[in-house]
Structure 1
Amino acid sequence: KKGKTFFLIFGLYLMIYFYLGVLPANVDNFISNLPGTTQFGVGLAVTFSLITSTISLLIFGYFGLYLAQKLSRKILFIGTNLIWISSNAIISLSPNYSFFLFFFLIAAVGNGAFLPIGFAIIGDLYKAEERGGKFGFMQLGLLLGNGLGVVFGGITGWRVGFLTASILGLIVLVGYTKIGINISVTSAKFNKALDYNYKITFQDLTQLFKIRTVVGILLFVVCSGIATSTLANWSVFYLNLKLNNKGMAILLYLIAGLGALPGAVMGGSLGDSYFKLGRIKGRVIISMVGVVCGTAFLLNFYLSPFILFGLAGFFLAFFSTGNQFAIFTDVTPPKLRGTVNSMSGIMTNVGRIIGNLLVSTLYQI
């Protein structure tokens, strides 16, 4: 059941990014068809959604252990996923911008809880030498879900896109309800002497920030969040302005983004290979080389939309994704792993908020 549990969690992660991919493909449709919507309003919706998901992440990171003990981690995971699934169904009926914004923020509560709960479950399911590949594969779900959301949402429109995400997400969640493994934080599989704690406390944060590797990666995560916010939410809109052809803009974005799929998995697998050989710094080297080279290619792609630049850029830039979570797991004691995963999500959202506000403000000006 371990493999099935992982793929069902993967499926839910994919559907979260499917619904998040519907919005970027329909910025122009939102502005023209949803009363009260502006370019800056779209930017604010994304920004407030990120803030809400960050607060949710903090709450579930802090109270997750207590709630898991009261309800069981499986029930908690099911409940938080139901929040975004039901909200998406309601969003598809939005009569105006205010209605859409309210339920878009409710959905953010559910997806914000995913990282401290879902990624902690995966970390507990697999051994250290397997985690890089698994976390890299989760990034595949992020990218594939976002790409499918952009395509499907661009073709069918945002109402059908959000409703489809809700229906498919519910199907996957029913599967998880039936066969998903319920891993207790006090499971006998782990050393019971350890305080295996997913609660975010000031003391835990103090311990984390004493680990230089963690501090370095968290700073990197903020910067990458600024970039990924721009790429994820505004690429289609930008390319459409540059090419004056929405269909071609979506096609270019998707073909280029395909490079990220093998990049995330291959980067994690290479990191695992170095780990097995005892080369602990291998994950860091792979990540750094990938990010530097990938960024150079992506800059060229957006200056001159040549598809090979985009493919190479996304492929190399996503070498770091699986290794990032694996490094966190490698260098932190078990009781701090939930905390560091939560902090990573918070820093990513901080970067995304900054990037999204910058871009939406510049477009409005």
Structure 2
Amino acid sequence: IADQAILIPNYLLIEKEFGIKHAQVGAVSSIFIVIGAVSAILWGYWVDKYSRKQLLVFGVLVGEIPCFLTAFTQNYIQLFLVRALTGMGIGVILPVGYSLLGDYFPPQERGKIAGWFISAVTLGYLLGAVLAATIGPRLSWRYPVILCSTPNFILVPFFHFLAKEPVRGGTESEIKELVSSGVAYLYKVKLRDFKRIISIRTNLFLNLQSIPGCILWGILPTWVITFIAKEKGFTITTATVIVLIFAMARIGGNLCGGYVGDHLYKRSPIQQINFC
């Protein structure tokens, strides 16, 4: 997840080195986000058909190899292409992560678990931003990219050999007893299921409101550090610290929302929805 922010604090350095403008750097960020979003749908489809542990291993490698190669790009086209490929790998995190957590924990605990999960995602983003802001201006924007991507090649084998694939549906109250007795949950998602999923009005409205709602969160994380540094005269490091303060508040909101959501869910699922 640190990959998402590993270039952002050093956009001005990248623009200067490659002789490009804000719009071109923005295109790099846009392709990263768009490819990540589209690939997340594919990853989500595969999550319901294949081993999630193996998909996560594969997806991380798909993202981290081009992320590592980002440090060795020599021109704008190369940078654009490797960031697009990195976005494809990043798209695996949320579909696989939520699916695994859904089978590790029962519905009554998923709110707080989701809160911790999203907080970890935010911390990863912050780690990337801090590395880039502290090392990039002093050495090169390339070094943080290497530092960010290299540990994954060590951690992936550990995850592969140590993580356990949970039983599908093992924590769902409707089928928990059947699964515990040895009955396997064999249903595999089909493409036609997407039509049924989107025909449910709750799903449809959630997705429709997310589109305009996410525009702001595509702009702010991408450009706010550059804006504070260039327009307000702060150093990149100081601008990143300012953003860090707001991000820490977001982590607090994630955790609070998760615990409150679980509490309300135990009383009534409707109360949880109203709270959101």
Alignment of 1:114-193 (within 5 A): 114-157=93-136, 158-183=141-166, 185=168, 188-189=179-180, 192=183
Q: Secondary structure at the match of 1:245?
A: coil
Shift in Å, 1:284: 2.5
* Structure 2 residue 242 is the aligned partner of structure 1 residue 252: yes
Give the distance between the partners of 1:234 and 1:205, measured in 2 at CA.
34
Partners of 1:243 and 1:249 within 8 A in 2: no
Cα deviation 1:126-162 (Å, max 9, x = unaligned): 1001111111111101211111211110111231221
Shift in Å, 1:36: 4.6
Instruction: Tell me the TM-score normalised to structure 1 length.
Output: 0.66
Alignment of 1:21-60 (within 5 A): 21-33=5-17, 35-60=18-43
Shift in Å, 1:64: 4.1
Name which of 187, 195, 206 aligns with 2:195: 206
Give the distance between the partners of 1:221 and 1:190, measured in 2 at CA.
40
Q: 1:193 to 1:78 in 2, by over 3 A?
A: closer
Residue in structure 2 matched with residue 240 of structure 1 by the alignment: 229
Give the distance between the partners of 1:191 and 1:242, measured in 2 at CA.
62
Give the distance between the partners of 1:176 and 1:56, measured in 2 at CA.
22
Pairwise CA RMSD of aligned residues? Answer: 2.3
Q: 1:225 to 1:177 in 2, by over 3 A?
A: same
Shift in Å, 1:282: 2.5
Partners of 1:88 and 1:104 within 8 A in 2: yes
Shift in Å, 1:31: 0.4
Residue in structure 1 matched with residue 69 of structure 2 by the alignment: 90
Cα deviation 1:23-65 (Å, max 9, x = unaligned): 22111111012x2532111111111122222332233333444
Name which of 62, 69, 72 aligns with 2:45: 62
Q: Secondary structure at the match of 2:3?
A: helix
Q: Which segments of 5 or more consecutive residues in structure 2 lack a partner in the other structure?
A: 171-178
Shift in Å, 1:237: 1.3
Structure 1 counterpart of 2:34, which letter? I
* Structure 2 residue 60 is the aligned partner of structure 1 residue 81: yes
Shift in Å, 1:190: 9.4
Give the distance between the partners of 1:162 and 1:190, measured in 2 at CA.
48
Residue in structure 2 matched with residue 349 of structure 1 by the alignment: none
Identity %: 21
Q: 1:189 to 1:51 in 2, by over 3 A?
A: farther
* Structure 2 residue 259 is the aligned partner of structure 1 residue 269: yes
Q: How many residues align?
A: 263
Q: 1:196 to 1:125 in 2, by over 3 A?
A: farther
Q: 1:82 to 1:27 in 2, by over 3 A?
A: same
Q: 1:191 to 1:121 in 2, by over 3 A?
A: farther
